[in-house]
Amino acid sequence: MSVPLDDLAAPAPARASSRRLPLPLSPGRAARRAAVVLPLLAVGAWAAADWRAFRDGAARLASADPAWLLAAGGFTCLGWVAAACVRQGAVPDRLPPGLLLASQFAAGAANHVLPASVGAHAVTLRFLRRQGVPLHRATASLALYSLVKPLAKTPVLLAVLLVFPDVLRLGALLPDRRTLLLAGGCVVLCPVAAVLVVALVRPLRGPVRSFLRTAMTDVRRLHRRPARVLALWGGAAVAPLLQAGVVASVGTAFGLPLTWAQVTFAFLAAGTAMGAVPAPGGIGPVDAALLFGLVGYGAPMALATATVIGYRVLTVWVPLLPGAVVLSVLVQRGAL
């Protein structure tokens, strides 16, 4: 039986037409793929720009006591747990503990790339939204978190002074009068400027009133629940003590001739004085203030510098790449 030539030629175009052509990449998928890769690219760019500091810090840590460095690493890990507790305490909804802790670990990497905690807040906001928290309530929780952290640090400072009154050396640690006046003026003028902007710009009044109503409602709900109060205020009070424990452990590993109370007060004072400066993760201003405080207590400049660099290596550089990987994985799996 003969087959017409037209029939033999027919399957070829049919097979060609049956092949599935690649679908165009949607904007949402493209943004998600970019979000997966961008944290790793940011880490690589920062590593290339500041590789010398990391290399010198790692070389210094190689000569330190490994047992105390291990203790410093433990304090660093507990700091992420404390941050997760504060985040949970700032929102009435129950969040999955494992994902919450992973999001804070990833937020730490983002926080060290962008200034003024913008990176950490952006990651947390996205995480809350993916957990079903409405945008206005998620934003209110970020504002509560930002307010509670400095407020909780004040009683911690006072407690350190009451228990260890000898740690306060006004002549060595406090800045000069001009710096104090400048800081005080900023503290007073910033809220006044914010109120004036809201009062003068009419379109802002409605959203601000709605935001304040939501924030106050959530604050009342949270403070009726003892578990949330403990997580919010307890975590915010413990977090700076854990960070000070990292500094003190690194200092002990290097043989820094200061007590833990002195190092703790120097760290708390440095964070209070310079924490408002919008540097990525507080790097720079807080480091300078901490170095100034340690030297003011009588520590040798070389040991104080090694302590500050070692603290930054353990809290920034060592977790940075794993944090960026976790951030990319969370984005890929849709948790962020």
Number of Cα atoms under 13 Å in the Cβ half of residue 327: 31
**C-alpha closest to that of 40 among 335, 331, 336:** 331
CB 336 within 8 A of CB 127: yes
DSSP of 51-81 = HHHHHHHHHHHHTS-HHHHHHHHHHHHHHHH
- Helix and strand tally (H, E) in the chain? 17, 0
Question: How many structural domains comprise the chain?
Answer: 1
Residue 124 has pLDDT above 80, yes or no: yes
* Strand ranges, E, within 181-245: none
Residue 170 has pLDDT above 50, yes or no: no
% of the chain exceeding 70 in pLDDT: 67
Judge whether 139 lies within some domain.
yes
CB 241 within 8 A of CB 261: no
CA–CA dist 326, 144 (Å, integer): 26
CB 131 within 8 A of CB 96: yes
The dihedrals phi and psi of 280, each to the nearest 5 degrees, come to -60, 115
In the DSSP assignment, the letter for residue 300 is: -
CA–CA dist 246, 80 (Å, integer): 13
Number of Cα atoms under 13 Å in the Cβ half of residue 124: 29
The dihedrals phi and psi of 298, each to the nearest 5 degrees, come to 105, 10
CA–CA dist 286, 293 (Å, integer): 10
Judge whether 24 lies within some domain.
no
CA–CA dist 55, 252 (Å, integer): 21
CB 67 within 8 A of CB 213: no
In the DSSP assignment, the letter for residue 4 is: -
Q: Grade residue 85 by pLDDT with cuts at 50, 70 and 90.
A: very high
CA–CA dist 187, 251 (Å, integer): 32
Judge whether 39 lies within some domain.
no
Q: Grade residue 208 by pLDDT with cuts at 50, 70 and 90.
A: confident
More confident position, 35 or 232: 232
* Tens digits of residue pLDDT in 10-19: 554 444 444 5
Mean pLDDT of 234-249: 93
| pLDDT computed for residue 58 by the predictor | 63
Judge whether 328 lies within some domain.
yes
Residue 210 has pLDDT above 60, yes or no: yes
| pLDDT computed for residue 314 by the predictor | 87
Judge whether 108 lies within some domain.
yes
Q: Which of 89-93, 116-120, 161-165, 254-258 has the lowest average pLDDT?
A: 116-120
| Token output for 55 | 């290399």
Cα-based distances in Å from 77 to 84, 101, 243: 11, 10, 10
| pLDDT computed for residue 325 by the predictor | 87
Residue 213 has pLDDT above 70, yes or no: yes
Residue 269 has pLDDT above 90, yes or no: no
Mean pLDDT of 270-292: 65
Residue 205 has pLDDT above 90, yes or no: no
CA–CA dist 17, 21 (Å, integer): 9
> Which structural domain range is residue 219 located in?
49-332
* Tens digits of residue pLDDT in 20-78: 545 455 555 555 555 445 544 554 554 555 556 556 666 777 778 889 999 999 999 99
* Tens digits of residue pLDDT in 175-199: 555 555 555 555 566 666 666 766 6
Cα-based distances in Å from 89 to 82, 189, 298: 10, 30, 39
| pLDDT computed for residue 88 by the predictor | 94
DSSP of 107-127 = HHHHHTTSBTTHHHHHHHHHH
Residue 103 has pLDDT above 60, yes or no: yes
**Collapsing DSSP states into helix, strand and coil, what is residue 198?**
helix
Judge whether 17 lies within some domain.
no
Judge whether 310 lies within some domain.
yes
CA–CA dist 100, 81 (Å, integer): 9
**What length does the chain have?**
336
Mean pLDDT of 216-223: 88
- Across the chain, mean pLDDT equals 77
| pLDDT computed for residue 227 by the predictor | 92
Judge whether 59 lies within some domain.
yes
